[in-house]
Structure 1
């Protein structure tokens, strides 16, 4: 609770925490709108494939034109302004940059950027949860070996869920389940970037479709993003995936402890110490009052009669038995909260969540009958969605990770609903991301 004070001290000393942001998309723009106003932080560089677009983003985020007009990194350091560029190598070579934020969203690109940042001696905040799930455990180990910090992004739901779990364990509670809410129906697994509009218009007032990235929104609706985020939570906390992944039970925020308890106690969970995502819709498609579509939660167990009595006395959201109780956060502000990660990494050398093992994976799963010769289009596309699985099951089945299921050709037919294997695709085994993923599998494979 002293991060702002520590940042103020850095500002008073004339040495703000200097940050480089890779990717000025939605998450990056939300960070930028607050970073400009954060004492003790300087976004010294923004690296984007389209610098002109990045400058327009800065204007949208409220940055005065002169603050993004530094023509070089040296100018930025001297003036306190920001240098916008597409030259990542030059930015990483500057010893004055302390923290790199990877916010591109592309798993293969994210791995390459992360390796380059670690090689350059920079702490890394990995907004790119797709890359984290693909190979984060090995990236975190590489960073640690180099004396650096690799961190999940505070404000995004995985880091917030990790904080819930850490809170519970630090208080001595057994974590029954942790996760988030979303909008889900079983039919959403077959959504494509073309058909997703039919769902979006049900709850978003869209006047200009050009402002919507249909693949991104499709990933949130078809179950992929939920699988990715819960796998990241498992790898950071040691919670396990349920045997067949997420089931998305409908629940309001006040029903969490009743629905998210083991089946032996009348709940929906196959196991305890797991992750789950609750739906804000009934299976008939009706909105659930007091849903948790934008929030996060943890369900804990009172292991003594006294603890359970305290649940009731202090108005915890306990189930009908009093044995289980829930704590939730109703919403999250993604990039606008990312400054917590930046400060924690730079000032405390402490991540806001970081993968410690390979516990869960996200497997490419066919949205329809796929034919040999087709090209897969990855996250949010029309061919596959991402299903959370225990890592051991993924490895045993030689499953194809979702993060590598883009721009690759099928070599044999795959039935709708089947999880793909490495043998189903023609893949470039010399690609950096492919080789690094394989190394991660070997490093963290169960004995």
Structure 2
């Protein structure tokens, strides 16, 4: 509750937090808009594969061109300006950087960046949930061993959910469920970049004018992003994952303690203490009144009759038994809130959520009948969507992680709805991301 005061202190001392960011897309741009006016933070470096894109992001978020003309990190440090580069290694190996933000969304790149941050003694904030779910337990362990912080990104839903879970547990409340809201119908699992825009009420032309990437937006719609984010929450909090994927029950904010309790008590959960995503649409397509499409929630249980009575006395909305209650946050502001992570990591040495185990995984599932010889096109594409599974089940069936389901070729036909397995692929060349994933599986598999 005093991060702002601590940032002001760093500013007065003339040693603002030196932060570097890799990736100048939408999330990164939102952070840039706030970083510019946040005391105690210095954007010392910005990397993007296209330097002109990085400059455009700074320009569009209100930065003075004189503020990003440094020719090196050293010059940026002494002048208080920003160094722009197309090589992320310039930032990861450069001495003045305290905190690196990975906002690329590319799992292979995220793995490289996290490991390099550990090797070079820099804290890392992973906006890149895709990399975290692919190999997060190993990446976090490497960072801890190196004495640096590996953190989720505040403002993104997984970190906000972890905060709510931590709040409930610190209050001595039993967490029954935690997750987020989204717009969901079962038909969305088959959506492709060619069909995505009508589901959002947009035309392809209007989306193109807004610079919207159809494959990226489709990953939010087809269930993949929800699965990735809930796997990250499960791996950070120890909450369980559903045995056969997210159920996406329709649910309003007032129904949270009713819908998100065990099925044995009239709810929808397999068990107490699991992640779940709720839908803002009824299964017939009608809107849920009082939905939580943009927000996050935690459902908790009173540990005693006295606590349950307090719930009633202070007006908490509960289930009919009076024992299950919920708190929710209706919105998340993604990159606009990322400064909380940067400040917490740099000043307190404390992550805003971090991976601690491997309990949830995201498997590639065929969107339609796929043929031998077909090359997969990854998250949000035409071929597969990502389904949340317990890590034990993923290992048992040899599931192909969604983060590695790009550019690989099938050696047999796959029916729509089937999980794609490693054994279904033509020989996959060993690369850095694959080898790190294999190492993570060996080190952190539930049966290990």
Deviations along 1:197-246, whole A, 9 cap, x unmatched? 12111699946545211111111110000000000000000001011120
Partner of 1:246: 246
Partner of 1:22: 22
Matched, 1:377 2:374: no
Hey, what's the Cα distance between the residues in 2 that align with 1:411 and 1:147? Answer: 44
Matched, 1:395 2:413: no
- 1:354-369 paired onto structure 2 within 5 Å: 354-369=354-369
SS in 2 for 1:5: helix
Describe the shift of the 1:202–1:309 C-alpha distance in structure 2 as closer, same or farther (beyond 3 A).
farther
Does the 8 Å CA contact 2:153/2:341 hold for their aligned counterparts? yes
Q: Displacement, 1:335?
A: 0.5
Q: Displacement, 1:182?
A: 0.1
Q: Which segments of structure 1 move beyond 6 Å, counting only runs of 4 or more?
A: 202-205
Deviations along 1:292-330, whole A, 9 cap, x unmatched? 000000000112222111112212221122111010000
Hey, what's the Cα distance between the residues in 2 that align with 1:207 and 1:372? Answer: 33
Matched, 1:439 2:439: yes
Deviations along 1:180-199, whole A, 9 cap, x unmatched? 00000000000000001121
SS in 2 for 1:318: coil
- 1:205-216 paired onto structure 2 within 5 Å: 206=206, 208-209=208-209, 211-216=211-216
- 1:140-159 paired onto structure 2 within 5 Å: 140-159=140-159
Hey, what's the Cα distance between the residues in 1 that align with 2:83 and 2:336? Answer: 21
Partner of 1:170: 170
SS in 1 for 2:200: helix
SS in 1 for 2:254: coil
Gaps of 5+ in 1: none
SS in 2 for 1:172: coil
Hey, what's the Cα distance between the residues in 1 that align with 2:284 and 2:410? Answer: 35
Partner of 1:95: 95
Does the 8 Å CA contact 1:132/1:232 hold for their aligned counterparts? yes
Does the 8 Å CA contact 1:300/1:324 hold for their aligned counterparts? yes
Deviations along 1:41-96, whole A, 9 cap, x unmatched? 10100010001111011111111111122222222112111111112222222211
Does the 8 Å CA contact 2:197/2:207 hold for their aligned counterparts? no
Partner of 1:12: 12
Deviations along 1:371-404, whole A, 9 cap, x unmatched? 1100101110010000000000101111111000
Hey, what's the Cα distance between the residues in 1 that align with 2:90 and 2:312? Answer: 58
Hey, what's the Cα distance between the residues in 1 that align with 2:32 and 2:205? Answer: 26
Describe the shift of the 1:204–1:159 C-alpha distance in structure 2 as closer, same or farther (beyond 3 A).
farther
Partner of 2:221: 221
SS in 1 for 2:358: coil
SS in 2 for 1:308: helix
Does the 8 Å CA contact 2:92/2:113 hold for their aligned counterparts? no
Does the 8 Å CA contact 2:197/2:203 hold for their aligned counterparts? no
Hey, what's the Cα distance between the residues in 2 that align with 1:428 and 1:31? Answer: 37
Describe the shift of the 1:193–1:203 C-alpha distance in structure 2 as closer, same or farther (beyond 3 A).
closer
TM-score (norm 1): 0.98
Describe the shift of the 1:114–1:325 C-alpha distance in structure 2 as closer, same or farther (beyond 3 A).
same
TM-score (norm 2): 0.98
Q: Which moved more, 1:371-380 or 1:90-99?
A: 90-99
Deviations along 1:239-263, whole A, 9 cap, x unmatched? 0101112000001111111100000
Partner of 2:86: 86
Partner of 2:48: 48
Matched, 1:422 2:412: no
Hey, what's the Cα distance between the residues in 1 that align with 2:409 and 2:204? Answer: 35
Hey, what's the Cα distance between the residues in 1 that align with 2:208 and 2:7? Answer: 40
Partner of 1:299: 299
Deviations along 1:314-367, whole A, 9 cap, x unmatched? 122211221110100000000110001001111111100001000100000000
Question: CA RMSD of the aligned region, Å?
Answer: 1.4
Aligned length: 447
Matched, 1:57 2:57: yes
Q: Displacement, 1:429?
A: 4.1
Does the 8 Å CA contact 1:280/1:287 hold for their aligned counterparts? yes
Partner of 2:71: 71
Partner of 2:133: 133
Gaps of 5+ in 2: none
Hey, what's the Cα distance between the residues in 1 that align with 2:161 and 2:428? Answer: 35
Does the 8 Å CA contact 1:429/1:435 hold for their aligned counterparts? no
